[in-house]
């Protein structure tokens, strides 16, 4: 393992991430309500247990209220189940299996359905805290689970209450983010700069907006998301030109659209949404799609009544669940790795004589929340330093021998501080997570503070060591190992989309196949960036030029409009080209293929020639 200066520096860098104000006030209100209710009824401990159900408020994000309601309800149930499973600690090996199951299952669900930070960690935290609490009478676990469920119910109500004054807000913000990302992409094209990462970010933002609109029933949102997709494809068609040219007003127009979607009452839709004149004399086939998508996007300002029909695709539950089982998606390896590591950590702690080793698996799981060995190494450093400082802070707080009211105040402040910093710097957030967990455990056990903190420090070192060992032994090169297959999968999805384009499929079929192709492209980009973050050198078989060329090819095809006339002959003629390219991606062949003439698609022909012709040094590929 190599410990680089950038790894150490990155461990203490503070990201310029906006503060999550909606989650901050929602979390603060939820915590105050549930803890205050426990104090009011004279059962402070009930409020503390309900507070752990209130962790559901941490998962509020910009999405349709219907989707948010389902998400918060399922998170509340998951936290309740974690409390029950964590309590199975009477026998060490049952405890090990229970905690491993919570860690693996919560990671799988969080990755499959894109739960925001803190992702799976709060489920693991609740299970580990539950394992640390005394078993008590037979009804104690049921009572704790009931309190957690109650806290989850309060979080559900608080999470949906802004519907009363902001019914379109969350979904419209996703749409505004999509247009803002389009503005950034258009700016790159205007300046003639490389835009692979910006293009990928725009694609992801548009896909999020389309999924949000697809779950809702607001036609304006659906039309706006559909128009964002059309604008993106029009910009991609323009960017494939040898010397793309985009007038300066276009990035400004798209940024203006983003502003008027966020604040429709402050902007004039007619003035802001009209496309600029064609002063740069763009070809009509390039100008028309941009102009049409801009006109359709004016419906997203919520000031005009949409007249068009949108074709927004949203994958079904079974589709998303099944996709997570694909090896190149890396959801299953991540879940298996963290589950096995937690199981091993509890086993090691048991044989080292640690009576209540709940902090060991918690630290181990925290380290393994990263996406690459570099990130996991950084997290282990952050975890050790953050825990050490958190123990000092917790010691100072517990030295005050806090009353129930003072403990409640500590819990609210520590949780809000943790949430504020969790996306800015994990190490700082760990400081507050450590103090928060110890205050909660102390309130339930009233154990001596100094022995409790010393034991947690030793457990942290052991858990970080086990987590780091797991990071470098279990699927340590999962990203780079999966890149060839992911590239071949992207080629296959691109082939399918090209077939649909050439055969003139209907709008709904085209939207679904485009979404599948885009999902493969985003997965490929995600794997590529993770592979760069792996501390060991990339596999020699991974050709960066080929990977990035396949990505570019996919976006070229994604930008194509349906053929005016079906051309099955060209689709058949391209089959040998696709097969050759897939074989190259999988390292099975380095042969070339004859690229058929395709005058209507010069950008596609050029990209295929670049991929199947003489290969360039991968170091020259775009990073």
Give the pLDDT score at 591: 73
Give the pLDDT score at 2: 47
Q: Are residue 508 and residue 610 in the same domain, yes or no?
A: yes
Q: Is residue 125 part of a domain?
A: yes
- Over residues 33-43, the pLDDT tens digits come to 999 999 999 88
Choosing from 269, 301, 333, the residue where a domain stops is 301
Q: Are residue 447 and residue 498 in the same domain, yes or no?
A: no
SS3 424: coil
pLDDT, averaged per 10 consecutive residues of the chain (623 residues), comes to 51 72 90 92 90 93 85 95 89 92 93 83 92 77 94 96 83 88 89 84 89 73 84 84 73 84 60 54 63 66 49 58 64 88 94 85 85 71 85 88 87 89 82 87 70 83 89 71 82 93 84 87 82 55 77 91 85 90 82 82 88 52 40
CA distance 128 to 86: 6
With vertex at residue 107, the alpha carbon angle to CA 149 and CA 430, rounded to the nearest 5 degrees, is 80
Choosing from 418, 453, 473, the residue where a domain stops is 473
For residues 430 and 383, the answer to whether their CB atoms sit within 8 Å is yes
Give the pLDDT score at 270: 40
With vertex at residue 508, the alpha carbon angle to CA 497 and CA 486, rounded to the nearest 5 degrees, is 35
Give the pLDDT score at 115: 84
CA distance 537 to 390: 35
Q: Are residue 466 and residue 515 in the same domain, yes or no?
A: no
Q: Are residue 490 and residue 444 in the same domain, yes or no?
A: no
Q: Are residue 451 and residue 568 in the same domain, yes or no?
A: no
Q: In 3D, which of 416, 444, 446 has the Cα closest to residue 432?
A: 416
Total Cβ atoms within 10 A of residue 295: 14
| Containing structural domain, residue 272 | 177-195+210-301
Give the pLDDT score at 173: 86
Residues 6+ away with beta carbon under 8 Å from 201:
181, 184, 185
- Report how many domains make up the chain: 3
φ/ψ (deg, to 5) at 129 = -65, -40
Task: Using CB atoms within 10 Å of the CB of residue 130, give its burial: 0 to 12 exposed, 13 to 18 middle, 19+ buried.
Answer: buried
Structure tokens at 516: 């599948």
For residues 221 and 168, the answer to whether their CB atoms sit within 8 Å is yes
Q: Are residue 290 and residue 376 in the same domain, yes or no?
A: no
Q: Is residue 172 part of a domain?
A: no
For residues 470 and 371, the answer to whether their CB atoms sit within 8 Å is no
DSSP 193-225: ---HHHHHHHHHHHHHHHHHHHHS--HHHHHHH
Q: Are residue 19 and residue 139 in the same domain, yes or no?
A: yes
Q: Is residue 169 part of a domain?
A: no
Q: Are residue 97 and residue 9 in the same domain, yes or no?
A: yes
Q: In 3D, which of 551, 548, 570 has the Cα closest to residue 618?
A: 548
Q: Is residue 137 part of a domain?
A: yes
Choosing from 266, 301, 336, the residue where a domain stops is 301
CA distance 291 to 7: 46
Q: Are residue 457 and residue 491 in the same domain, yes or no?
A: no
CA distance 469 to 377: 10
Give the pLDDT score at 272: 47
Q: Is residue 306 part of a domain?
A: no
Q: Is residue 234 part of a domain?
A: yes
Q: Is the N-terminal amide bond of 118 cis, ω within 30° of 0?
A: yes
CA distance 139 to 71: 29
Q: Is residue 9 part of a domain?
A: yes
Q: Are residue 343 and residue 236 in the same domain, yes or no?
A: no
Integer distance in angstroms from the first to the last C-alpha of the chain? 24
DSSP letter assigned to residue 373: H
Give the pLDDT score at 46: 92
Q: Are residue 613 and residue 498 in the same domain, yes or no?
A: yes
Q: Are residue 127 and residue 46 in the same domain, yes or no?
A: yes
Give the pLDDT score at 275: 60
Give the pLDDT score at 540: 45
- Over residues 411-450, the pLDDT tens digits come to 989 989 988 888 788 788 888 988 888 888 777 666 666 7
Q: Is residue 202 part of a domain?
A: no
């Amino acid at each position: 393992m190599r410990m680089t200066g950038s790894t150490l520096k990155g461990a203490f860098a503070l990201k310029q991430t906006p503060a999550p104000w909606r989650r901050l006030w929602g979390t603060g209100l939820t915590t105050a309500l549930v803890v205050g209710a426990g104090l009011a009824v004279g059962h402070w401990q009930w409020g503390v247990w309900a507070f752990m159900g209130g962790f559901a408020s941490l998962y509020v994000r910009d999405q349709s209220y219907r989707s948010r309601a389902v998400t918060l309800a399922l998170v509340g149930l998951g936290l309740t189940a974690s409390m029950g499973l964590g309590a199975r600690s009477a026998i060490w090996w049952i405890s090990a299996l229970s905690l491993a199951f919570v860690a693996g299952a919560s990671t799988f669900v969080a990755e499959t359905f894109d739960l925001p930070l803190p992702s799976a960690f709060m489920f693991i935290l609740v299970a580990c805290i539950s394992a640390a609490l005394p078993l008590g009478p037979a009804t104690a676990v049921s009572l704790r689970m009931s309190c957690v469920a109650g806290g989850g119910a309060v979080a559900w109500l608080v999470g949906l209450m802004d519907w009363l004054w902001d019914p379109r807000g969350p979904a419209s913000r996703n749409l505004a983010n999509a247009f803002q990302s389009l503005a950034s992409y258009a700016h790159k094209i205007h300046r003639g700069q490389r835009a692979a990462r910006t293009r990928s970010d725009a694609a992801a933002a548009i896909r999020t907006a389309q999924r949000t609109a697809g779950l809702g029933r607001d036609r304006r949102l659906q039309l706006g998301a559909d128009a964002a997709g059309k604008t993106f494809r029009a910009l991609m068609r323009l960017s494939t030109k040898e010397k793309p040219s985009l007038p300066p007003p276009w990035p400004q127009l798209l940024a203006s659209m983003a502003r008027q979607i966020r604040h429709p009452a402050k902007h004039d839709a007619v003035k802001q949404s009209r496309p600029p004149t064609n002063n740069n004399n763009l070809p009509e086939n390039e100008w028309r799609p941009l102009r049409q998508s801009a006109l359709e996007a004016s419906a997203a300002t919520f000031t005009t009544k949409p007249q068009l029909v949108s074709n927004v695709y949203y994958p079904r539950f079974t589709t998303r669940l099944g996709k997570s089982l694909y090896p190149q998606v890396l959801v299953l390896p991540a879940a298996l790795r963290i589950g096995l590591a937690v199981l091993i950590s509890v086993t090691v702690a048991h044989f080292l004589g640690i009576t209540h080793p709940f902090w060991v698996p918690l630290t181990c799981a925290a380290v393994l929340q990263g996406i690459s060995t570099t990130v996991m190494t950084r997290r282990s450093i952050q975890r050790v330093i953050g825990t050490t400082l958190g123990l000092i802070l917790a010691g100072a707080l517990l030295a005050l021998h806090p009353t129930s009211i003072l403990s409640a105040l500590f819990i609210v402040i520590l949780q809000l501080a943790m949430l504020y910093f969790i996306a800015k710097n994990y190490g700082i957030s760990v400081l507050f997570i450590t103090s928060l967990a110890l205050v909660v455990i102390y309130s339930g056990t009233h154990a001596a503070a100094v022995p409790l903190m010393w034991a947690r420090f030793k457990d942290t070192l052991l858990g970080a060591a086990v987590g780091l060992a797991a990071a470098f032994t279990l699927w340590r090169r999962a990203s780079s190992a999966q890149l060839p297959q992911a590239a071949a999968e992207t080629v296959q999805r691109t082939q399918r989309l090209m077939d649909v384009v050439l055969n003139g499929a209907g709008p709904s079929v085209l939207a679904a196949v485009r979404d599948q192709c885009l999902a493969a492209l985003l997965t490929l980009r995600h794997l590529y960036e993770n592979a760069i973050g792996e501390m060991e050198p990339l596999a020699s078989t991974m050709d960066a030029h080929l990977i990035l060329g396949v990505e570019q090819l996919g976006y070229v095809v994604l930008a194509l409009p349906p053929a005016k006339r079906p051309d099955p002959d060209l689709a058949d003629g391209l089959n040998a080209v696709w097969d050759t390219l897939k074989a190259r991606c999988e390292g099975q062949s380095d042969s070339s293929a004859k690229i058929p003439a395709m005058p209507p698609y010069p950008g596609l022909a050029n990209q295929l020639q670049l991929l199947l012709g003489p290969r360039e040094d991968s170091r020259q590929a775009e990073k």
